[in-house]
Amino acid sequence: MKILVTGGAGYIGSHTCIELIEGGYEVVVIDNLCNSSLESLKRVENLLNINIPFHKVDVRNKSALTWLFEKYTFDGVIHFAGLKSVSESVENPINYYDNNVIGSFLLLEVMRNFNCKTFIFSSSATIYGKPHTVPIKENFPLSATNPYGRSKLMIEDFLQDVFLADESWRIMTLRYFNPVGSHKSGVIGEDPNGTPNNLMPYISQVAIGKLEKLSIFGGDYNTKDGTGVRDYIHVVDIAKGHVKALKALENHPQILKINLGTGNGYSVLDLVNAFERASGEKILYQIVDRRPGDIDICYADPSYAEEQLEWKAIFGLDEMCEDTWRWQLQNPDGYQH
């Protein structure tokens, strides 16, 4: 089967390409490279000794997408392409709705024109807003608190309407919790532009000496140590989830919305302590004010994924930290060296 991977040069996309290829799928990657690096795909090619067709295409470019679907016969699409910073989305909502929502609309339109109806969408746990309880199940009320989350929610609603209008589609939205870690080889990993927005790369850059200390936003949450609790999940587990999703969609047309999480909540200090164990380095930190919109506790109930996809996360917190540290040591400047 030939799969189009949009945003395939990004963090989760590049790891998923490895799992797809090792699972026997052919992949074609498009990416506009606005927040990713082509170097990641070159490294995947070297790792697997394979050539991956790549085209620098923006999903908002309908004529380029049409050309692509004329060139290849795709059996399905995995859609990672999109912007992903909550704070950036608050500052520039127009850009987020344009990239994430309009891009997805155009992609689905071209897929329909070529009768390609298998679609896996990268959604996010942010669409649960502030959950009334944990663990979070798929049938919980949905309410995003920022433009990034709302863009994901709008696309989920759109996909539901697409399926209701034409039930020959095979659609899955995968709601990720907090992806961390890197491939065991240390060859590919998370390479944020500038100062990291996410906790794990920030901690690893403190450990290697690129950043002085970690700022922990809030030490007075209603948690065991006062710091926020999240469901951190290894990026390779998430990548494997996409392969399982493709296999599940082969069976019959359907639309499914599924959490990808571990079912475990780890505090910020849990992560700091685990990273100190993995790296042997002391992580300096300071507690600062909470960020607006941050919630106390957020972790998944992953049982539906196990039931529908025969998937569950297998990597623990120590492995997540060890693999991140290996990537950071081997690539102190990310892909730019």
Active site residues: 148
Residue 275 tokens read as 């990273």
Q: CA 115, 97, 189 angle in degrees (round to 5)?
A: 80
CB atoms closer than 10 angstroms to residue 141: 9
Contact assessment for residue 122 and residue 12, using Cβ atoms and an 8 Å cutoff = yes
What residues does 109 pair with on adjacent strands? none
Q: How far apart are CA 284 and CA 203, in angstroms?
A: 9
One-letter identity of residue 134: V
Compute the radius of gyration of the chain from its Cα atoms.
Answer: 19
Nearest by Cα to 180 from 196, 159, 163:
196
For the sheet with 297-298, list strands across it.
266-267, 229-230, 297-298
Q: How far apart are CA 302 and CA 12, in angstroms?
A: 19
